[in-house]
Every structure is written in structure tokens, then in C-alpha cells.
Amino acid sequence: MRSELPLLLAFLAILRPAAAICAPRNPTGFFDRDSTKSPAAAAAGNNNTPSPSRPAPAASTPPPQTPSVPQRPPASIGNHDALAQLCRHTDYADICVSSMEPFLAGAGAVDPAKLLILEMKAMRVKVQEALTKAGALANKPGMDSRSASYLQVCSDVYDDALDSLDAAEKALQVKDKGTLDSMLSGLITDFVTCEDGFDEADLASPMEADDGLLKKLGSNCLAFAELV
């Protein structure tokens, strides 16, 4: 038995390497390409650092809008407010405002004295228009003699009104309140005189609307004269 022991050990030694050689190195049956790489290459291959993504474009923000600077209103806007306020002291506020608005530009700051000057200027324009109209009607072909004579009276009255306006303006400049009131009151009387002839003859006056407006302008002038 002891003589056979060395032979048995030698036989077993031969069998162990064979078993090691036959053992499969890749039991899965698939070839692993990474197993052939060097450790450095494998480490480099496993370092899958994602490339930095391109930043999303920032949302476009509209530029801040510069608030528009309000334009400075013309001086006549302030004058209009002052005009409307002072015209409340008259009996014909609407006519007061509308008659003087065309003369506000460049008038500067307004006060009762300034508005009295402007209202007399507005009246002068209307008196001149009435004078032209009365003269044209008096010379119109076919106009009856009585109406023509009354129209001539109106023309004379309008001439007197222009003179009264001149005197009133001078009285205002020298602060002659008595003369100022007298001249302005006389204006209203003049326009009534123009209508009297037609009324007495029971005729329709072609100057009725003109005289009606002029009397209202004269009343407004007297109201401003009281504030001066």
C-alpha cells in the first residue's frame, strides 16, 4: 500500500492542472471587450463626463419704456379757465366766453380789466359788422323808404357806438370810473334806439338779431366794469 501511495499522488497532481485548464474563463459565453483593455483605458472609458449643455437663451425682456413727458399746455388754456370763471359774474356767461375766446391768444394773464378790454374789442367787431350790414340793406334795390330811413338811423347809432367804445377805453386807462360806466350804458341805449323805429312802425327789424347780441355784449361790459 505504501508503495502505491507515491503513484496515487502523482496521478492526482496530473488531474488538477487539467481541471484548471478546462474551466471556462467566461461562463456567460459572451466576449467582454472591456476585459482586453488596460486598466487605464478602462478607467478612461468609464469616465463618461457629460458635455456641458448649451445654456438656454434668456427670455427677452422688453426694454423699459421711458414715460412720455407731458407737454406743457399753452398759456391760453389757463386763460380759458380764468375767462370762464370771471364770465360767471355776467348775465350772459356763454356769450361772454365765446365772444372773447378768439382774442385770448397773447393776452397774458387775465383779470376783470383785461377782460373788459377784450369784450369791448369783441363788441367793436360786431358793431362794425352791423354797420356794414345796415348800410348794405338801406341801399338794397326794392327796399321801402321807411325801412331804409330806419336803417339809416341804425347806421348813425353804430357810428356813435364806435365813438363810445373809444371813450370807454380811454376812461378805463385813466381809471375814470364815472365816464366808463356812462359810455358803456350809452352803448346799450344806442342799440335800443335802432330797434325803436321798426317797433313803432310795426315792421320787422332786419337788425334785431344784431342789436340783441350787441346789447348782451354791452351788459357784459358793464358787469366787468363793476369788478374793475
Burial letters 100-124, b for 16+ CB under 10 A, else e: bbebbeebeebeeebbbbbbbebbb
CA–CA separation, 96 and 115 (whole Å): 9
Cell of 219: 351788459
Q: What are all long-range contacts of 169-176, with beta carbons under 8 Å and residues at least 24 apart?
A: 169/117, 169/120, 172/113, 172/116, 172/117, 172/225, 172/228
Is the model's pLDDT at 81 over the cut of 70?
A: yes
Residue 28 amino acid letter? T
Residue 83 zone, left/alpha/beta (φ > 0; ψ -120 to 50; rest): alpha
Q: What's the pLDDT band for 10 if we cut at 50, 70, 90?
A: low
Q: Which ranges of 139-176 would DSSP assign to H, the alpha helix? A: 145-173
Q: Is the pLDDT of residue 126 over 80?
A: yes
Q: What is the mean pLDDT of the chain?
A: 79
- pTM for this predicted structure: 0.65
Site of grid cell 356794414: 132
In the predicted structure, residue 136 carries a pLDDT above the cut 90: yes
What is the Cα–Cα distance from 76 to 109, expressed in whole angstroms? 9
Chain Cα centroid distance, residue 111 = 27
* SS3 at position 50: coil
For 67, counting Cβ atoms within 10 Å of its Cβ (0-12 exposed, 13-18 middle, 19+ buried), the class is exposed
Q: What is the pLDDT of residues 30-59, one digit of tens each?
A: 334 444 444 444 444 444 444 445 555 454
Contact criterion met (CB below 8 Å) for 220 and 96:
yes
Cα dist. 6→3, 10, 13, 14, 15 in Å? 7, 6, 11, 13, 15
Burial of 211 (0-12, 13-18, 19+ CB in 10 A): buried
- 96 and 119 in contact (C-beta within 8 Å)? yes
d(CA 82, CA 100) in angstroms, rounded, equals: 12
User: What CA–CA distance (Å, rounded) separates 116 from 223?
Assistant: 9
Structural domains present in the chain: 75-227 (1.20.140.40)
Which cell is 105 given?
391768444
| Residue predicted with more confidence, 207 or 19 | 207
131 or 4, which is more confident? 131
